[in-house]
Amino acid sequence: MSNIIRGKTIVESRERRSWAEPYKIKMVERLKTTTREQRLRAIAEAGYNTFLLRSKDVYIDLLTDSGTSAMSDHQWAGIMMGDEAYSGSENFYHLEAAVQKFYGFPYMVPTHQGRGAEHLLSRIMIRQGQTVPGNMYFTTTRLHQELAGATFVDVIIDEAHDPASLHPFKGNVDLAKLQALIDREGADNIPYVCVAATVNMAGGQPISMQNMRDVHALCARHGIKIFLDATRAVENAYFIQQREEGYKNRSVASILHEFCVYSDGATMSGKKDLLVNIGGFLAMRDPNIYQQASSLVVVFEGMHTYGGLAGRDMEAMARGIEEAVDDDHIRARVGQVEYLGEKLIGWGIPIVLPVGGHAVYLDAKRFLPHLTQDQFPAQTLAAELYIQGGIRSMERGIVSAGRDPVTGAQRYPKLELVRLTIPRRVYTQAHLDVTAESVADCFDRRASITGLTMTYEPQYLRFFQARFEPIA
């Protein structure tokens, strides 16, 4: 696991070798600093929900890495090459070719973003009353499965729920759990297995090639399809290169291609790995599923050659795929996340281990052990971190977990996390230093931090718009 612990300034000896970002800055966006009083006012106005802050009031924005990455000059040049024909845009064919080349799926329809693809897939594949197994849920993915009439069942390995476990592939599917589910429900009632790589909700944790191979073999025996959530599959491929026997000398691009071989298709949010501000796609091998997707995409997204995207957006995504799989790029991208994680570990701050691919996750249960889960420890910590340093993070705990759609009962996830998500190619090492210092300042005064109560709860995906107040 020596490669996992690979910070830049942890060991200050002549032995240490630095890496630098494989890009230089051509254009800058100015940031505004705020006073503590301004931030106290802003977070109160936002109902103590970082999603409801105005971005102008944020100094370092680590809410998400979704659509927030910096495009390259090559991608911006592609924007000018947008072919804005209503149908048959040249940019669609560039995108299709890139998906075929790097992911290996013969068919794809563009969608406005990842959830557009999830919506189409769920509608096409799921019948009322079926079960969809997955390696931990993702918010929009599970909701689309549920809206299509399925029940989601988590079949990730137990280690994924333990923030201190050092398992190198905490995203792995537990084959025994999957087998037991197939035995119980029957293969006919499982439209597909949804495999996420990496697993966002577990802390950006990867799944191994071996596990993917095993899941494929198990599903093949029962005639069950596998659909990837390939949103962060490039990051997953990088972890396979770094951690799995036999992949050290393989390129990330070739690992990604092999990984996809074990699936029947993928939903994709281009806003993550693929370095664009908007876009996604649904890819597949089966021409019948493609036919259904082509006719359904027209209803919800747009024609099958644009799927809710402008030609320029498709061009930027096609070029983004090529940049995303570059070994230097992905090493630096994950390297920045590791740098921040190592710094916090060094200061004894509880985070999810090992450090994931796109974010550092603070373990709010250990950070604020005096708060009960009903006092929203992660939501509270996210608000505190904003007040402390103007840093915007995201709750990934009880608020995100929501309620059971049938019983309406509150779900109590084992993990209660605050996600510090690093956008690609956006912030410098100094920004990460400032972030780490702000977290440490909160940690120093953690005993004085009190919880929140929820004052408004929306029906769907409540974490986006819920409002809170400090406990009196």
Ligand X SMILES: *Cc1c(COP(=O)(O)O)cnc(C)c1O
DSSP-derived secondary structure for 299-336: HHT--TTTTT--HHHHHHHHHHHHHHT-HHHHHHHHHH
Based on the shown chain and the rule CB under 6 A, indicate whether residue 356 belongs to the binding site for ligand X.
Answer: no
Based on the shown chain and the rule CB under 6 A, indicate whether residue 236 belongs to the binding site for ligand X.
Answer: no
Just list the catalytic residues: 86, 138-139, 229, 272, 396, 463
Nearest to ligand X of 119, 343 (CB atom):
119
- Number of residues in contact with ligand X under rule CB under 6 A: 16
Based on the shown chain and the rule CB under 6 A, indicate whether residue 114 belongs to the binding site for ligand X.
Answer: yes
Nearest to ligand X of 140, 242 (CB atom):
140
**Of 113, 147, 109, 144, the residue nearest 296 (C-alpha):** 109
Selected from 49, 72, 130, 140, the binder of ligand X by CB under 6 A is: 140
**Of 138, 218, 225, the residue nearest 190 (C-alpha):** 225
Based on the shown chain and the rule CB under 6 A, indicate whether residue 113 belongs to the binding site for ligand X.
Answer: yes
In whole angstroms, what is the distance from residue 469 CA to residue 22 CA? 43
Nearest to ligand X of 280, 451 (CB atom):
280
Based on the shown chain and the rule CB under 6 A, indicate whether residue 242 belongs to the binding site for ligand X.
Answer: no
Selected from 68, 72, 130, 200, the binder of ligand X by CB under 6 A is: 200
Based on the shown chain and the rule CB under 6 A, indicate whether residue 138 belongs to the binding site for ligand X.
Answer: yes
Selected from 130, 269, 277, 380, the binder of ligand X by CB under 6 A is: 269
3-class SS of residue 467? strand
Nearest to ligand X of 456, 464 (CB atom):
464
Closest-CB residue for ligand X? 114
Based on the shown chain and the rule CB under 6 A, indicate whether residue 196 belongs to the binding site for ligand X.
Answer: yes
3-class SS of residue 398? helix
How near is the Cβ of 300 to ligand X at its closest, in Å? 13
Based on the shown chain and the rule CB under 6 A, indicate whether residue 68 belongs to the binding site for ligand X.
Answer: no
Nearest to ligand X of 138, 192 (CB atom):
138
| The two three-digit tokens of residue 352, written as one number | 């999810």
Buried b (16+ CB within 10 A) or exposed e, 118-143: bbbbbbbbbeeebbbbbbbbbbbbbb
Cis check for the bond before 163: say yes or no (omega within 30 of 0). Answer: no
**Of 335, 200, 328, 324, the residue nearest 274 (C-alpha):** 324
Residues engaged in binding ligand X (CB under 6 A): 66, 113-115, 138, 140-141, 196, 200, 229, 231-232, 269, 271-272, 280
